[in-house]
């Protein structure tokens, strides 16, 4: 079966690898020349992923029947609606259903309307003066976010990236000055706890869970510095996390099921992978954000250990036919660390050559997923976003981390940066101590 994939990052390389493994004939659209995707695809088109007409033309030219869209930007402008219009079934949400990610105010209002647990206090503003009045009336810390898409970088947390009233207002003004007609600024209650990612496969109605993953958004070791798209992530062999009990996972799944039900009620049936980013707090899991897609890097944790045929899963999601036993994952732990350009999160230094020994990486028991790199004349160059994901896979997180680190020595170049603390024992132990404290 022929399938169209859109996107050229690590998440999409992981999806393409899983599709290839399950026998799909792949046609890919992406903006960068991702060597991992190019080698698996029968046909490629290197164009901007927002060029809907060109993507539809490519789909018609290759007579593809199904599509999987990796990144959020094409979802936001209705690529799925256009593809479905020409008869291509998509395992990704329409523009309407993707609002669950593309509009943070839509997401919060939906949760309020359907009285879904896990919501937090929030307010949306379009003028700085009213936002200021609201801020002055509060005596708790807040988080400031643009309402629309931010590429994971537009969130500022009081006490972390912004301090005090003046800095907070300066950021509110900055967001509002860049906002389009439908956008605005959302000011949320700052919740405290431990974060986890619960992703699910969705077919319009039914959800089927993936293993829990913890991502690391901050650019620097010790979880400090600017927020990024995610520097690395890990998952455990039992599909929970060492500090997230099964009850919290079950509650998160209940919240996601209710969101899928609510979207259906609103006339936006949701198909495709959905990603809930939660914070486990003293009063249970709170929803930080929903993404209308796989997480990146999280996709690189779960797809390599997916036992089921991903190609069939894509079809089942697109056709609304997921069954209880459609999804099975191996009981293995994974640790993913992203190699990124120096300065990533603030100002990336791009265009540096990066050297990779794939055999060396595999011999360590790790996998490589190419992301925002460009292949030119057989050489690899970094872009401004994350470059390469290295994923160690083993029976335990400790061993997966060791394999990931060993494999990272086979990626070389000037101008690259890795957060080595991700998945280390002592870091996980600290999180366990913190959550014990919080919940006791």
Contacting positions for ligand AMP (CB under 6 A): 120, 143, 152, 155, 157, 188, 190-191, 195, 217, 227, 277, 288-289
The yes or no reply on residue 148 touching ligand GLY (CB under 6 A) is no
The yes or no reply on residue 49 touching ligand GLY (CB under 6 A) is no
Candidate residues 215, 367, 374, 401; the one interacting with ligand GLY per rule CB under 6 A:
215
Candidate residues 188, 298, 367, 405; the one interacting with ligand GLY per rule CB under 6 A:
298
Q: Give which of 68, 76, 85 is closest to 30, Cα–Cα.
A: 68
Give the residue with the Cβ less far from ligand GLY, 154 or 230: 230
Candidate residues 28, 34, 158, 291; the one interacting with ligand GLY per rule CB under 6 A:
291
Residue 90 and residue 229: Cα distance in Å, rounded?
25
Give the residue with the Cβ less far from ligand GLY, 229 or 389: 229
Q: Are 74 and 50 in contact (CB under 8 A)?
A: yes
Q: Are 384 and 398 in contact (CB under 8 A)?
A: no
Candidate residues 188, 194, 296, 374; the one interacting with ligand GLY per rule CB under 6 A:
296
Q: Which does 374 bind (CB under 5 to 8 A by kind): ligand GLY, ligand AMP, none?
A: none
How near is the Cβ of 289 to ligand AMP at its closest, in Å? 4
How near is the Cβ of 188 to ligand AMP at its closest, in Å? 4
Residue 17 and residue 11: Cα distance in Å, rounded?
10
Give the residue with the Cβ less far from ligand AMP, 52 or 124: 124
Residue 280 and residue 285: Cα distance in Å, rounded?
4
How near is the Cβ of 295 to ligand GLY at its closest, in Å? 4
How near is the Cβ of 177 to ligand AMP at its closest, in Å? 20
Give how far the C-alpha of residue 39 lies from the chain's centroid of Cα atoms, to the nearest Å. Answer: 24
Q: Parallel, antiparallel, or unpaired: how do β-strands 207-209 and 194-203 relate? A: antiparallel
Q: Give which of 340, 256, 360 is closest to 10, Cα–Cα.
A: 340
Q: Which does 190 bind (CB under 5 to 8 A by kind): ligand GLY, ligand AMP, none?
A: ligand AMP
Give the residue with the Cβ less far from ligand GLY, 150 or 312: 150
Q: Report phi then psi at 109, rounded to 5.
A: -65, -40
Span from 12-20, 289-297, 362-370, 405-413 in contact with ligand GLY (CB under 6 A): 289-297
Please tell me the count of residues contacting ligand GLY according to CB under 6 A: 8
Residue 62 and residue 42: Cα distance in Å, rounded?
10
Q: Are 344 and 417 in contact (CB under 8 A)?
A: yes
Roughly how many angstroms between the first and final C-alpha of the chain, as a whole number? 53
The secondary structure of residue 244, as a DSSP letter, is B
Q: Which two tokens stand for residue 44?
A: 């490629």
How near is the Cβ of 290 to ligand AMP at its closest, in Å? 10
Which string of DSSP letters, residue by residue, matches 9-43?
SHHHHHHHHHHHHTT-EEEEEESS--HHHHHH-SE
How near is the Cβ of 348 to ligand AMP at its closest, in Å? 18
Q: Which does 93 bind (CB under 5 to 8 A by kind): ligand GLY, ligand AMP, none?
A: none
Q: Give which of 118, 249, 248 is closest to 189, Cα–Cα.
A: 118
The yes or no reply on residue 295 touching ligand GLY (CB under 6 A) is yes
Residue 12 and residue 30: Cα distance in Å, rounded?
9
How near is the Cβ of 223 to ligand GLY at its closest, in Å? 14
Q: Which residues bind ligand GLY (CB under 6 A)?
A: 152, 215, 229-230, 291, 295-296, 298
């Amino acid at each position: 079966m022929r399938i169209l994939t859109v996107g050229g990052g690590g998440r999409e390389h992981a999806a393409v690898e899983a599709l290839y493994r399950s026998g799909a004939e792949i046609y890919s659209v992406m903006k960068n020349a991702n060597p991992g995707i190019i080698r698996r695809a029968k046909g490629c088109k290197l164009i901007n992923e927002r060029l809907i007409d060109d993507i539809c033309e490519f789909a018609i030219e290759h007579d593809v029947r199904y599509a999987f869209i990796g990144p959020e930007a094409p979802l936001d402008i209705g690529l799925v609606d256009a593809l479905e219009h020409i008869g291509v079934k998509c395992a990704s949400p329409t523009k309407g259903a993707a609002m669950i990610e593309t509009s943070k105010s839509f997401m919060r209002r939906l949760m309020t309307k359907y009285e879904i647990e896990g919501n937090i206090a929030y307010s949306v503003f379009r003028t700085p003066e009213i936002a200021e009045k609201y801020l002055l009336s509060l005596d708790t810390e807040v988080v400031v976010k643009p309402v629309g898409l931010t590429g994971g970088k537009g969130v500022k947390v009081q006490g972390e990236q912004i301090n005090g009233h003046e800095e907070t207002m300066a950021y509110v003004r900055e967001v509002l000055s860049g906002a389009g007609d439908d956008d605005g600024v959302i000011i949320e209650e700052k919740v405290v706890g431990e974060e986890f990612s619960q992703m699910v496969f969705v077919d319009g109605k039914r959800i089927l869970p993936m293993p829990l993953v913890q991502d690391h958004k901050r650019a620097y070791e010790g979880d400090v510095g600017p927020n990024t798209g995610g520097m690395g992530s890990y998952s455990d062999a039992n599909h929970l996390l060492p500090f997230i009990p099964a009850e919290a996972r079950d509650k998160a799944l209940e919240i996601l099921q209710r969101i899928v039900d609510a979207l259906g009620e609103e006339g936006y049936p949701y198909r495709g992978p959905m990603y809930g980013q939660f914070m486990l707090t003293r009063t249970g899991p709170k929803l930080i954000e929903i993404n209308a897609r796989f997480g990146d890097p999280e996709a690189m944790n779960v797809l390599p250990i997916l036992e089921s045929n991903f190609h069939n899963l894509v079809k089942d999601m697109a056709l609304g036919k997921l069954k209880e036993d459609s999804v099975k994952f191996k009981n293995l732990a994974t640790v993913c660390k992203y190699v990124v350009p120096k300065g990533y999160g603030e100002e990336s230094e791009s265009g540096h050559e990066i050297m990779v020994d794939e055999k060396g990486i595999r011999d360590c028991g790790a996998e490589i997923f190419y992301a925002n790199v460009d292949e030119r004349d057989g050489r690899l160059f970094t872009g401004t976003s994350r470059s390469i994901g290295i994923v160690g896979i083993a029976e335990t997180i400790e061993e997966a981390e060791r394999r990931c680190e060993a494999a990272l020595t086979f990626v070389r170049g000037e101008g690259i940066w890795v957060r080595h603390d991700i998945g280390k024992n002592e870091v996980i132990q600290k999180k366990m101590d913190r959550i014990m404290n919080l919940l006791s």
